[in-house]
Amino acid sequence: MAETESRPTNFIRQIIDKDLASGLHNAIKTRFPPEPNGFLHIGHAKSICLNFGIAQDYTGTCNLRFDDTNPAKEDITFVNSIKEDVQWLGFTWDGEARYSSNYFDQLHAYAVELIEKGLAYVDFSAQEVMREMRGTLKEPGQNSPYRDTDVETNLSEFAKMTAGEYKEGECSLRAKIDMASPFMCMRDPVIYRVKHAHHHQTGDKWCVYPMYDFTHCISDAIEGITHSLCTLEFQDNRRLYDWVIENISIDCTPRQYEFSRLNLEYTVLSKRRLIQLVEENHVNGWDDPRMPTIAGLRRRGYTPGSIVEFCKRIGVTKMDNMVEMSMLEACIRDDLNTNAPRAMAVLDPIKLVIENYEEGKTETLVAPNHPNDESMGTRNIGFSREVYIEAEDFRESANKKFKRLVLDKEVRLRNAYVVKANRVEKDEAGNVTTVYCTFDSETLGKDPTDGRKVKGVIHWVDAATAQAAEFRLYDRLFNVPNPAAEENFTDAINPESLEIKQGWVEAGLANNVPEVSAWQFERMGYFCVDNDSTDHKPVFNRTVGLRDTWAKIGE
């Protein structure tokens, strides 16, 4: 086990420490059990970091087990994406990936065992009738007319269900527990239903599939899981978890513990809502960089380390709360501020013509790749008579607070010379397209010799060597902190969550991938190369801006 002082602590780790100290367990075994009906999101990352992190810290093991009990909604594409996400985050599961479907034969046998013990029965009631007879939180449920069917008949009917002799919805197998229980999950829950669907692992072998609450606890027991960690919505279901284990002939008795799920501002983490975003084309697929999926965050430029750090910072508690999006963004800023090399890109270009610079001349300037880390080295950048600058970095007139280029004023081009703007050229709409200036040839790497003070510095790219590029400026997908609370959450989609610009970038940056996967484009934010890039035109995604533009004024 890792040294205690090097590990975070929370109530789950305290339970584990106590279990090890008492000798209840000699080794720790956890599991991560996603359902392969969609891509994993940042909330799943919290569970991944918890389950795999505990296994690592206690020198235990963690299984990856797919909860594949609903083949109608599952797909091998989701299976593969989940494996990729877990590995990308830096975790390794114990042995081969497991599937609940690996245990279908055993699960079926345990269902038969419950029938034989008089603890399960086949119910032919329609779903609507069953729902009405369940009662409410204030009123007990009513017994099904099929509840007291004899064991032999139930065994025969379950065999017919298994053989495919009944249609979907025609009947189901229910556990016989207590229709008067104050916990709804204990009012004779369905544990098997008829489903005629092809399964991505077992093919067409089965016509009946077990429910999650029946499957999960038995799978944990089969695998010898010591601590089954779930989110708080499964808290009441722990009673059913324990009931199933106690009433079948299985040796292992794992325990379930619940922690609060992640609620993150300006997004939705309900898989149902994420599916709706994808299917209704509000986003461009599961890996759209505006999505809170791990695939989307990866494509946007988030690093595994930043996500793991975020999960560490938010901690593990039983308290439900809303986490600020700024906390996630701070984690990637902290990571990239240290690890991302600097470069220059112009997203909204106007041309700067240096009239006293020799025509046809080019020179190579040297720029540091990181202002605070000499180990990142330097890079060569071209410089010639014409460069591109940001349109917002020039004004014909401005007050003293504007520290960039103004007519008749001087500014330094980053890592280059001091220039002075003299005149402009505009298009028919009155927009400045070209600024004509002069440069001081004695100011490369030093201040003007006559003591002139030049406070402003702007970035630029050499027009002769720069590469045309597309820049996708991603922002928060929703414009309200809690879109799930809206009557129609899609009405809260931020219309400015994606802005596309055509501009210029230092030559050769995209060719550095995968050696360099992210850059800070000076003053513009942190960017990564998107997989839509081509050799002729790179596409850069903005991961995050240099500062939080959503922060309230005055904070």
Are 52 and 76 contained in the same domain?
yes
CATH number, position 179: 3.90.800.10
Full-model pTM = 0.93
Does residue 28 sit in the same domain as residue 156? Answer: no
Mean pLDDT computed over 219-247:
96
What does the pLDDT read at residue 7?
66
324: DSSP letter: P
| 93, 218: one domain | yes
* Maximum CA extent, the chain: 104
414-432 average pLDDT score: 96
- Same structural domain, 490 and 449: no
CATH code for the domain of 362: 2.40.240.10
Tell me what pLDDT residue 4 has. 42
Exposed e or buried b per residue across 133-145, where buried means at least 16 C-beta atoms within 10 angstroms of its C-beta:
bbbeeeeebeebe
285: alpha, beta or left? (left if phi > 0; alpha if psi -120 to 50): left
Angle subtended at Cα 248 by Cα 245 and Cα 254, rounded to the nearest 5 degrees: 25
Residue 261 domain flag: yes
How is residue 132 annotated by DSSP?
Answer: H
pLDDT computed for residue 190 by the predictor: 98
What digits encode the pLDDT tens for the residues 50-100?
A: 999 999 999 999 999 999 999 999 999 999 999 999 999 999 999 999 999
Do 232 and 269 fall within a single domain?
A: yes
φ, ψ of residue 161 in degrees (nearest 5): -55, -45
Residues forming the active site? 35, 261, 271
CA distances from 409 to 49, 427, 431, 461 (A): 54, 23, 20, 20
- Tell which residue, 448, 463, 506, has the closest CA to residue 357: 463
Residue 330 has a pLDDT of 97
DSSP-derived secondary structure for 424-489: EEE-TTS-EEEEEEEEETT-TTS--TT------EE--EETTT-EEEEEEEE--SBSSS-GGGSSSG
Compute the average pLDDT of residues 109-129: 98
Last residue of a domain, one of 211, 236, 267: 211
CATH code for position 240:
3.40.50.620
Average pLDDT over the chain, rounded to an integer: 95
Mean pLDDT of 386-401: 95
Res 555 pLDDT > 90: no
* Final residue in a domain of this structure, among 183, 211, 239: 211
Which segment of 44-48, 300-304, 517-521 scores lowest on mean pLDDT? 517-521
Q: Tell me, what's the pLDDT at 512?
A: 72
115, β-bridge pairs: none
Backbone angles phi, psi at 329, to 5 degrees: -65, -35
Q: What is the pLDDT of residue 40?
A: 98
- pLDDT for 6 equals 57
Q: State residue 8's pLDDT score.
A: 72
Domain identity same for 31 and 171: no
> Do 417 and 435 sit in the same domain of this protein?
yes
Q: How confident is the model at residue 552 (pLDDT cuts 50, 70, 90)?
A: low
Mean pLDDT value across residues 218-242: 96
Residues 150, 204: one domain?
yes
Domain count, the chain: 4
Q: How confident is residue 121, by pLDDT bands cut at 50, 70 and 90?
A: very high
Domain boundary (427, 459, 491) is at 459
Q: Please indicate, yes or no, if residue 552 is contained in any of the structural domains.
A: no
Residue 336 lies in a domain: no
Strand partners for 364: 382
Q: What is the pLDDT of residue 508?
A: 82
Residue 45 pLDDT > 90, yes or no? yes
Residue 119 scores a pLDDT above 90:
yes
Rounded to an integer, the average pLDDT of 307-318 is: 96
Q: Which amino acid is present at 173?
A: L
For residue 352, the enclosing domain spans 345-459
